[in-house]
Structure 1
């Protein structure tokens, strides 16, 4: 699944191409996504100008003066900027067509993503209103995590992956941040000290910011707006390295399944 850095990469990638431009029409080839695409999507968005492109958690938000288009990439979705000369592929489900032969094309082989329209205030939308803070903004701190974790017995890895606690810390970056912070992923969230949470919050920010700078982690199904993969996976310290030597102490990295997710750690470096 594209994680926060991948989605942020897409956000930054498509924004310059469509911000300020008017949607001429929307062509829906396949409406059956995670939630059905509105039958009236073309009528709703045609003639609307994209005022801004932003991200909330893993949702891409395309703001107009009439409402907001929400796009989620699901497990395997992507957005690309193409022209009408580029062939339509099997899983190219929706085109948003602009002037000057510019098309924003939504592709989703597994169809777990979503393309939704809302006219309500975006922060009140049912998919967004209960989400935790963004990890790269000022209100996400170690103190905040420490307060939210009080008396919690859930593993700390599961705790930081809870979108009601903080958004966008997916499996890859939870593994990486906990390793960077020296915290064992199976420790109870309520047992982590304030000082440890302060370090963990910094490490979460660092892991995500580094990935964004590198253009997103290279995942099998992820491509950015130009159709090129990201280049960060080769720098991962623990994720995908089960059985290999720890980069810090050279001891063998271990793996367990936690909530059916691969959890990789070093028993010596993470306490």
Structure 2
């Protein structure tokens, strides 16, 4: 299934995408798609719903984060060896973990807001893992059983905030709008192998990132297992798993960063596409 939420911010309705690319309204079946709906029994109940029995949403509505109730946004750094090389950083021996603030979460096509004082705004296409079952000390060979599905994430980053002011990664990763998620949550019945997905990102129509999840240093199962040793993963928690090469920081002969007016498009095989315009921060 491809589950989604559509509508104005804060007033999103539940929906799903049918095989023909139509958004179907789920609001008469469930009140909301949230962390509780990601439990295996609830996903099984939704899987029994026939999409053709649901009303088609005829307009092209805004898409929100595909589900509500996210308690943690856990991120993994330098999880592709070629990205570590372009960042002039060593290949990690264990996953590098940091947190993205849940206030950075936005819909897949919402604007990226350049923060006050930002000079090095960057992009990162990443595979997101969505937890469906509470996970503590999970063995790696069982780890994917705790996953509800997968999604596209742009791990938007401010490199000056992240690397040049004391190297506190959270500070450069959690600004408002730095966590576009979606367009939909794709359940594990459709993505049986998360390590075989092509990834891409363009800026203003120009090629920037091309890669595949097969080149991760630490795969999805390892990450779920590893992270569950250090914190309890709850239904709805997201793990964003690192990015392939091609970020602005690593461009030659000199880094290239985002500026207001730029348009970022990105996607992952089977998980859909995103599009964001960069805008300057302003009082609202």
Q: Confirm or deny a common fold (TM above 0.5).
A: no
- Higher fraction of strand: 2
Structure possessing the higher relative contact order (Cα contacts under 8 Å, 6 or more residues apart): 2
Query: More helix by proportion, 1 or 2?
Result: 1
TM-score (norm. length: structure 2): 0.23
